[in-house]
Structure 1
Amino acid sequence: MSYVVAVRALCEFTAKQGDLDLRFTPSPTAQEGIAGHATVTARRGPGYQAEVALSGGHGPLLVRGRADGYDPAQNLIEEIKTYRGQFASIPDNHRHLHWAQLRVYGHLLCAQQQLERVNLALVYYDIGSGAETVLRATREAHELAALFADHCQRFVAWAEQELAHRGARDEALAALRFPHAEFRTGQRQLAKAVFQANASGRCLLAQAPTGIGKTVGSLFPVLKAAPQQRIDKVLFLAAKTPGRQLALDAAATLGRGTPLRVLELTAREKACEHPENSCHGESCPLARGFYDRLPAARQAALTHVTLDRAALREVGLAHAVCPYYLGSEMARWSDVIVGDYNYWFDAGAMLHGLALANQWRVSVLVDEAHNMVSRARSMFTASLERGTLRSARAAAPPLAKKALGRVARAWSALDKEHGAPYQVLPALPEPLLDALQAAASAITDHLAERPGPLDPALQRFYFDALHFARLADSFASHSLCDFTRDGRDSALCIRNVVPAPFLKSRFALAHSTTLFSATLSPWHYHADALGLPEDTAWIDVDSPFSSEQLAVRVASRISTRYQHRAASLAPIAELMASQYRERPGNYLAFFSSFDYLEQAAALFAERHPGIPAWLQGRRMNEAERAGFVARFVPGGRGIGFAVLGGAFGEGIDLPGERLIGAFIATLGLPQVNPVNEQLRQRLEEAFGAGYDYTYLYPGIQKVVQAAGRVVRTMADHGVVVLIDDRFDQPRVRELLPRWWGIGRMPGAA
């Protein structure tokens, strides 16, 4: 069995040395890099070959890659690197790595074409000026063979270790047994569907109720399928920290007694040990000599079956390397990777880039996937604010200040042309966009000449401008450009409406993707918005719970529509007090906004001062959120007031007497405003279901998620009161869970 490794991956393993240096430098974008390569190769003469596929073996290794170019007439092989600014600013350790890659390609070419020697050219192309700096050398084939052998010998021990690990892992997973005595109701159904999706290489949308053990029920079948389907990595992606912790716990349970390697990827700001320092060796001690100490840290990391945040920190500090970037390195050598959606779906997603470069076979599990539409829209949305521009101008160096002045004048023209508070522009404002790109180039040139930290206000605008420009390049009917005025300030936004065009490549690259949640109905809404393949399977998993466990009642004589809210407050207060007196205990009461919540809580406290109540605040920190949840104790009594769709509407687990009921005083429909009305119009044009896709489906998802907090285990019993007459409408009822037994509360008025 051969271990396949890319030339770049081999050299990064064996030839990287020195400091970790992540000071922001104006490096070319991926698109600029591709364009730069094309420019250089187009300058070459006839007979020049671009993207030359090469491969060769050494013991158990099969090394392969594509050399940037080869000129047979000169017997010259080239490695092309794009950059911005001053050539002298390219770090020596970068050039060392580039030469290593070129020499490996040189060896592979000599071996493939039986050459005695080859000319080597390391070509540095300046994106800004179009100039080439070429470093040349001539090497004998036997010299290159020796260098190649040296790289391989330093990697082969690791490769043999990895081959042994993969064999042991697959053997253990083939014999894997479900970790519990039996499946819960619905859990086997989910597991079977996930296994079949991986066996057939398809995507799956799985609506599975809370309480069946979705995490284990989805992870187990993927691991079981991994040996036969030759799956390299399982990615478990979750929107929030509790979901990631459940995945780590499930992986630890499933992998007990096996060599399964599990990694948690944590946001950089949470993992950074020295947030006051910059990410380079002159500032941070954990960046200094990072690559020199990485091999020992990498080997030590493998002694931990689960590399969660704490374990990465322990290993990193023991070897004086950055724990966050150690985690990024260990993504290459882990079997199950747990992290946020952005690691796979974002424009510059790390795991997607690694999978593409290393040709990994990946199975992706997306937890709480009802969040994916809104999260994906935010990934491909960019906004610029005039206030940020003013702050950037005040802090800019002279050349950038002049360019930002042109942006300000173009913005003023836009202000004069569009006087309405909110307006969708018929096209991108080209004069402003041109000025914006010129300003970004000016700041880039400044950074290239004077590397160093930017003023925070200037840096924020610069990053916003770069993001905006990238999305402008791909602007199409999937997005809109809107202009908002608020007094002196205004904002320009490229707002994504349908993320499908951006996500299709992610689903195509994965061997299989399973998206699961308790609220994925109707399936076509998610399939359309996310761009799932046409052969995506759909399953609505049976609930383990019965209608006897959850009394669902509709207060159909109350309207919570905006114009009726003042009149609804007193009836809602009496309904809640009546239910509390009938069965005292812990309840959650959900409202559509903080204003509505605060009004309802104030009246409730006035009329029923003997019933304990506590409120979700508008900007609660992590400790305050934990304190809110801590009030729900077994045997406790009172009502927590919360916003539907907020921090307490999903992702919290309050089994047994910790929560015995919920009041949901709204359909959860998003606010009717100019932005949402534009979404409705665009979605109507795209799918013929603008109102449903913008308002109804997202709203009902929040309702079902909130109601799902009440019954969490087979021993739980509770009540959910749906407060609004629209819950009696057939089109709303059919979106609610099938197992609910819904009745009316005739005395709710």
Structure 2
Amino acid sequence: MSKDVHISVRTLVEHVYKCGSIDSRFRSQSTLIDGTRIHQKIQKTYHDGDQKEVYLSTEITYDGLKYIIDGRCDGLLFDNGMVTIDEIKSFTQPLDQLEGEGSPVHWAQAKMYAYIYAKDNSLPEILVQLTYVHVETEGKRYFKKNYSLSDLETFVFKVIEGYTPYAKLQYEHRVKRNESCKALVFPFDTYRAGQRNLAGGVYKTIKDGKNLFAKAPTGIGKTISTLFPAVKAIGEGQANRIFYLTAKTITRTTAEEAFARMRSCGLCLNAVTITAKDKVCFKDETKCQKDYCEFANGYFDRINDAILDILTNENGMTREVIESYARKHTVCPFEFSLDLSYAADAVICDYNYIFDPRVSLKRLIEEQKKASVLLVDEAHNLVDRGREMFSASLNKETFLQLKKDFKGVDKMIFQAASKLNSWFISLKKENDNKTEFVLELLDEEFLEQLLQFSKDAEQVLKTETSQSLLEAFFMVNNFLKIVELLDEHYVIYVEKNRNDVMVKLFCIDPSKLLRQKGKGYRSKVYFSATLSPLPYYQDILGGEQEDYFLSIPSPFREEQIDVCIKPLSTRFNDRERTKDEIVSMVQSLIKKRPGNYLIFFPSYQYLLSVYEQFKQVDEETDTLIQTTGMTEAEREEFLAAFQPNQDETLLGFAVLGGIFSEGVDLIGDRLNGVVVVGVGLPQLCFERNLIKDHFNNKDKNGYDYAYLFPGMNKVLQAGGRLIRSETDHGTIVLVDDRFLQKQYQLLLPQEWNHFTII
């Protein structure tokens, strides 16, 4: 393995010189755009012969490692035989608050460029200039120093010396990692049926640099079958990092266990789990301000030691491990996990860290992406999550409240909020007879008012704290970001609810944006037990013509599962009428086959209605009920009640598509049967009908895209809770007459097709 360390000038100096605190008090949202604009404006003032955006690179050998350092300097200025390196920085605080002679990080960055240029051009001395420009006033402050080449050389070697402990640790780890990946054998005595096929498909996909859509049955061990070949690909030099993306905590734990299992077989690979900020925050309130939180105060002064410590001593950086090191070093556990994700070999996290434009891991450069593999678990969930990530909405109520809050307090915000509130009122009046309707486009006046509101709110938030204004500011900015994405994949619609009015930019088809956000990665593997029908998922998740497909048949025998269909109507208007028959059927089932059962309903109201009826006629049977907003501890308690070999029957009433219908592993006699009431179709609504119409207009079956496929996916997920291993047996009862119709039957797994009608 080469001892090369490729690193950008900026990354190198930030590692060594970045200091101070995390302080997420209000920050201007336009900083990046302003920064680019200001750079270009300053560069236009350069004289003939001066150069801008100059690529510079050098190689330096130090302590057995060869550093390849590169970057682009903002400006190269020539005057009277002297050369000046110009580093331009935009800032928002008043000019007189600019501390000292500029930031140590900025000086370090400019001096690195100065060294590279002076060395390459044999200059005995060179000038270094920091140009600070205020984003609003465009006022400037210049700091200029003269350095000799020998001074710069001493400085550069000091910087590299500061980075070397981390570089050596990473280099030595990678040597061990690659050897262990290469030598690793499958961490179980044998492959389950279908596992080798899936693992082989994933390995070939990564080797060929392609994408894969894989439908693999529940219970075969999809997590290890995707992670193991990805780890082997690292050993063969085909990848350098794995992102395991999932929507649920329970599937994150499964990925952590898979890595732990491979480590017990000799794997040396570090994996970090990113947990949402509000879940890991140590404080009562998630307020990242140095004067409130000791874990934010001085974070950058301590973070390098914390990273070195955890990487030296740990491979499995789970939430608990990160929290313990975060307390030890007094650093924010969430920011710590993000910083670790740039150093780790594998990252276990939610989909949004890759796909959501608002929260993605932004420091991932193209080179790192090219060597990274995305493993997208339970990929069927990414359809609605994708829609959610790329949509945005605004409510009249937000601006009415601000109007009230700022009356007599701040004229500027009061007026901006009043104008927006009035726009919503006139929209409501113009469409008095409609509750929901589509807008062809947003009028320019509204967009200008939103931009003005954003600017006004930004001014106020620099000096004042207002939670309601801050939230409105972020909502408006997010809305304006999504406005830029509007195209034929979007519908703009309005919904009136009593006095409130909502405007939503609804991403009906997330395929294009998911494809864009996934661009640049070596391979993407989308897998799920219910990725069916595959062409639908390939289409809606942004697949491409050259993608690979894999559909693995169930390894379980038909005799392991008894499928029954009870042809009753569970349609909304018939529910009251057929409720007694559902209760009788459940009683009959548990009398013939006592055991542990999960009963899934399409809505919580329906669940309660049948549950209450059941309790009236049967007080003896033990029952559990899923409640809204259950805590993690309550969920665990619910599942823990499903114990094997119990004398008494236990019925768990749960919601279809909810927390207990996916990613739940109740192996063996912990679960003896599943009853699914209804075909899982989303409720008929305006938004779903928009999806239907959109795909009908594209010559696709809109009803299938909007209702049938998402609904049946929930049914298959719920049924998939039952058979989790080769020795499991059990009963599935599907309650609805539509299960006997052809379009529903075509979506049932093959092993469910031998059913009995009861």
> TM-score scaled to structure 2, two decimals?
0.93
Q: Give the one of 254, 261, 279 matched to 1:253.
A: 261
Shift of 1:535: 1.5
Deviation at 1:150, TM superposition (A): 1.5
Name the CA distance, whole Å, in 2 between partners of 1:50 and 1:734: 62
Counterpart secondary structure, 1:629: helix
Closer, same or farther: CA 359–458 of 1 in aligned 2, 3 Å: same
Aligned to 1:442: 456
* Aligned residue identity for 1:671: Q
Partner of 1:57: 59
Q: Does 1:431 align with 2:445?
A: yes
Out of 199-208 and 384-393, give the one that drifted further: 384-393
Tell me, yes or no, if structure 1 residue 148 matches structure 2 residue 150.
no
Which SS does the other structure have where 1:118 is aligned?
Answer: strand
Partners of 2:230 and 2:54 lie apart in 1 by 36
Q: Offset of 1:287 from its aligned partner? A: 2.3
Structure 1 residues 534-585: Cα deviation after superposition (integer angstroms, max 9, x where no partner): 21111011222111111112223x1222233232212222222221111011
| Alignment deviations for residues 33-70 of structure 1 (CA, whole Å, 9 cap, x no partner) | 44444444345444453332211111111111122333
Cα distance 1:719–1:277, how it changes in 2: closer, same or farther (>3 A)?
closer
Q: Classify 1:442/1:566 alpha carbon distance in 2 versus 1 (closer, same or farther; 3 Å).
A: same
SS in 2 for 1:584: coil
Using the alignment, how far apart are the partners of 2:100 and 2:111 within structure 1?
17
**Aligned position for 2:344:** 334
Do the aligned partners of 1:54 and 1:109 also contact (CA within 8 Å) in 2? yes
Indicate yes or no: 2:172 matched with 1:164: yes
Which amino acid is the alignment partner of residue 142 of structure 1? S
Q: Is the 8 A contact 2:181 2:268 kept in 1?
A: no
Structure 2 counterpart SS, 1:68: strand
The 10-residue stretch of structure 1 (389-398 or 644-653) with the greater mean CA deviation from structure 2: 389-398
Amino acid at match of 2:522: H
* Contact 1:554 1:727 (8 Å CA) reproduced: yes
User: In the aligned structure 2, how far is the partner of 1:526 from the partner of 1:520?
Assistant: 7
**Are residues 205 and 402 of structure 1, via their aligned partners in 2, closer, same or farther at CA, if it must alter by over 3 Å?**
same
Is 2:654 the counterpart of 1:681?
Answer: no
Q: Which amino acid aligns with 1:182?
A: T
SS of the equivalent of 2:472 reads helix
Q: Which amino acid aligns with 2:448?
A: D
Distance 1:725 1:162 in 2: 60
Report what 1:647 is aligned to. Answer: 659
Contact 1:28–1:127 at 8 Å: present in 2 too? no
Q: 1:125 to 1:672 in 2, by over 3 A?
A: farther
Q: 1:728 to 1:277 in 2, by over 3 A?
A: closer
Alignment match, 1:414: 427
Residue 140 of structure 1 deviates from its aligned partner by 3.2
Change (3 A) 1:49 1:671: farther
- Residue 261 of structure 1: CA displacement? 1.1
2:501 counterpart (490, 493, 500): 490
673, 676, 684: which is aligned to 1:672?
Answer: 684
After TM superposition, list the pairs within 5 Å mapping 1:394-405 onto structure 2.
394-396=404-406, 398=410, 399-405=412-418
1:21 to 20, 23, 33: 23
SS state of the match for residue 4, structure 1?
strand
Distance 1:446 1:204, change over 3 A: same
Give the CA deviation at 1:653.
1.6
- In the TM superposition, 1:319-330 aligns within 5 A as 319-330=329-340
Do the aligned residues in 1 keep the contact of 2:57 with 2:68 (CA within 8 Å)? yes
Query: What is the CA–CA distance in structure 2 between the aligned matches of 1:567 and 1:33, rounded to whole Å?
Result: 65
Superposition deviation, residue 466 in structure 1: 1.1
Paired residue type of 1:166:
R
1: CA distance, partners of 2:100 / 2:286: 23
The 1-side partners of 2:397 and 2:214 are apart by 44
- Cα 1:88–1:413 change in 2 (3 A) is farther
| 2:111 alignment partner AA | R
AA matched with 2:70 = R
**Structure-1 separation of matches of 2:425 and 2:273:** 47
Bigger drift between 424-433 and 214-223 goes to 424-433
Amino acid of the residue matched to residue 256 of structure 2?
L
Written as runs of structure 1 = structure 2, the 5 A alignment for 1:511-522 is 511-522=522-533
Q: Is the 8 A contact 1:410 1:435 kept in 2?
A: no
Distance 1:88 1:345, change over 3 A: farther
Question: What is the Cα deviation at residue 697 of structure 1?
Answer: 0.8
Is the partner of 2:751 in helix, strand or coil?
coil
What's 2:87 paired with? 79
Shift of 1:111: 2.7
Q: Percent identity?
A: 31
Quote the residue 1:220 is aligned against.
228
Query: Counterparts of 2:110 and 2:723 in 1: how far apart (Å)?
Result: 61
Matched residues in 1 for 2:599 and 2:741: separation? 22
Question: Counterpart of 2:375?
Answer: 365
**CA 1:39 to 1:723, structure 2 compared with 1: closer, same or farther past 3 Å?**
farther
Which residue, 694, 697, 714 being the options, matches 2:726?
714
Would you say 1:293 and 2:302 are equivalent positions?
Answer: yes
Q: Residues 36, 410 of structure 1: CA spacing in aligned structure 2 closer, same or farther, 3 A cutoff? A: farther
Indicate the SS of the match to 2:559: coil
Name which of 723, 728, 739 aligns with 1:727: 739
Summarize deviations over 1:227-267 as a string: whole Å, max 9, x none.
Answer: 32342211111111010011011111112333311211111
**Secondary structure at 2:445's aligned position in 1?**
helix
CA distance in 2 between counterparts of 1:606 and 1:713 reads 36
Sort the Cα spacing of 1:292 and 1:612 in 2 relative to 1 into closer, same or farther, 3 A.
closer
**Distance apart, 1:601 and its partner CA:** 1.9
The aligned residue for residue 489 of structure 2 is 478
Mapping 1:583-732, distance limit 5 Å: 583-634=593-644, 635=646, 636-686=648-698, 688-732=700-744
Question: Which residue in 1 is equivalent to 2:214?
Answer: 206
Q: Which amino acid aligns with 1:337?
A: V
In 1, Cα distance between equivalents of 2:438 and 2:105: 48
TM-fit CA distance, 1:380 = 1.1
Name 2:364's counterpart in structure 1: 354
Cα 1:155/1:186, change in 2 over 3 Å? same
Aligned-pair distance for 1:456? 1.9
Given that residues 369 and 520 in structure 2 are in contact (C-alpha distance below 8 angstroms), is that contact kept between their aligned partners in structure 1? Answer: no
Mapped partners of 1:355, 1:429: distance in 2: 37
Gap change, CA 1:687 and 1:369, over 3 Å in 2:
farther
Within-5 A mapping of 1:543-562? 543-556=554-567, 558-562=568-572
Return closer, same or farther for 1:92/1:703 CA change in 2, 3 Å cut-off. Answer: farther
Quote the residue 2:534 is aligned against: 523
Cα distance change, pair 352–93 in 1 and its aligned pair in 2 (3 A) = farther
Task: Indicate if the aligned counterparts of 1:261 and 1:306 stay in contact, CA closer than 8 A.
Answer: yes
Checking the alignment, whether the CA contact within 8 Å between 1:233 and 1:360 is kept in structure 2 is no
Aligned pair partner of 1:499 in 510, 518, 525: 510
Q: What per-residue deviation string (whole Å, max 9, x for no partner) do you get for residues 300-359 of structure 1?
A: 111112111111121121122222222222222211111111111110444353244856
Residue identity opposite 2:53 in structure 1: E
Given that 2:461 and 2:470 are in contact with CA atoms closer than 8 Å, whether structure 1 keeps it comes out as no
- Say if 1:82 and 1:500 are closer, same or farther in 2 by CA, change over 3 A: farther
Change in 2 beyond 3 A, CA 1:58/1:662? same
Deviations 1:152-208 (A, max 9, x none): 122123223322211111011111111111111111111000000110011111111
1:67 has 2:79 as partner: no
- The 2-side partners of 1:677 and 1:657 are apart by 42
Farther-moved stretch of structure 1 (64-73 vs 583-592): 64-73
Q: Which range moves more in the overlay, 194-203 or 93-102?
A: 93-102
Residue 512 of structure 1: CA displacement?
0.8
CA distance in 1, matches of 2:334, 2:247: 19
Residue 383 of structure 1 is matched in structure 2 by 393
